Amino acid sequence: MTEKKIFSDVSEKDVTRAIVEGFSKAFSDYVESDVIIIGGGPSGLMAGRELSAKGIKTLIIERNNYLGGGFWIGGYLMNKVTVRAPGQEVLDELKIPYEEVRAGLYMADGPHACSKLIAAACDAGVKIINMTTFDDIVIREGNRVAGVVINWTPVSALPREITCVDPVALESKMVVDATGHDACVVSKLEERGLIKTKGFGAMWVERSEDLVVEYTGEAHPGLVVMGMAVSTLYGLPRMGPTFGAMLLSGKRGAEVIIEKLK
């Protein structure tokens, strides 16, 4: 009996070659970018979308194999995400369905909201490298941040005797710390005595959301801080599972970068 053929004739070597050549081209193209965003959570994705939509060459680096951070699951492993007004305006912009829980408080399904945000960033033209860990910063004259040092995420899980894998560096005009409470990029500056973090404060949603957006901006020459990294740097209250400030912080950070790049 003749087997019915459904798919085209492509061998294993063709698949492998496509992956290697495709990744190599994209990686080489973004060795030098306008903006490198460390962290693919809601603020990083939002900023990436805004920047790419303006034609700014933007790369997002994410240590996990997935994007979105806590935007997938909201709080306490219950996959509803909330935003307070005016955050619903971003949900409208991204065409994310939601419901009004009470005046000024809105709720969406986490997976739907997160996948829409990721798609919006990709549609705008942002490039993404995942399973890649931020390792260090590149510094130029005047201690200006001018790029990042990265390595494969799995390297950190290798046995100690075989982890002497040197990282590589990427250059950019601006770097963004969107790594959440870890504030990984800021921490590298602090290790070198170039900045001082205060650590995030206790939960206070109403104050935190306003303050995170207000304090979003350039924290050091060449480095913009957004999302919960802002809270860690400036000692602001934590905000928990509500995401309006994450989205608006990403927008605010993008505005700051666009102005800096003029």
Mean pLDDT value across residues 124-133: 97
Q: Band of the pLDDT at 159, cuts 50, 70, 90?
A: confident
Q: Tokens standing for 70?
A: 């806590």
Mean pLDDT value across residues 144-162: 89
- Whether residue 111 is preceded by a cis peptide bond, meaning omega within 30 degrees of 0, is no
Integer angstrom CA distances of residue 23 from 29, 30, 81, 130, 131: 10, 11, 33, 12, 13
Average pLDDT, the chain: 96
Mean pLDDT value across residues 61-84: 95
DSSP structure string for 116-150: HHHHHHHHHT-EEE-SEEEEEEEEEGGGEEEEEEE
pLDDT of residue 2: 65
Mean pLDDT value across residues 8-37: 98
Mean pLDDT value across residues 166-170: 96
In the chain, the percentage of residues whose pLDDT exceeds 90 is: 92
pLDDT of residue 160: 72
132 exposure class (CB count in 10 Å sphere: 0-12, 13-18, 19+): buried
Mean pLDDT value across residues 99-120: 97
Tracing tokens 């419901």 back to the chain, one arrives at 99
Mean pLDDT value across residues 216-221: 98
207, 237 Cβ separation under 8 angstroms: yes
Q: Tokens standing for 249?
A: 């912080």
pLDDT of residue 158: 84
Mean pLDDT value across residues 103-107: 97
52, 213 Cβ separation under 8 angstroms: no
Q: To the nearest 10°, the Cα dihedral for 229, 210, 123, 19?
A: 10
Q: Band of the pLDDT at 112, cuts 50, 70, 90?
A: very high
pLDDT of residue 157: 84
Residue 259 reports pLDDT greater than 70: yes
Mean pLDDT value across residues 201-219: 96
Mean pLDDT value across residues 58-65: 98
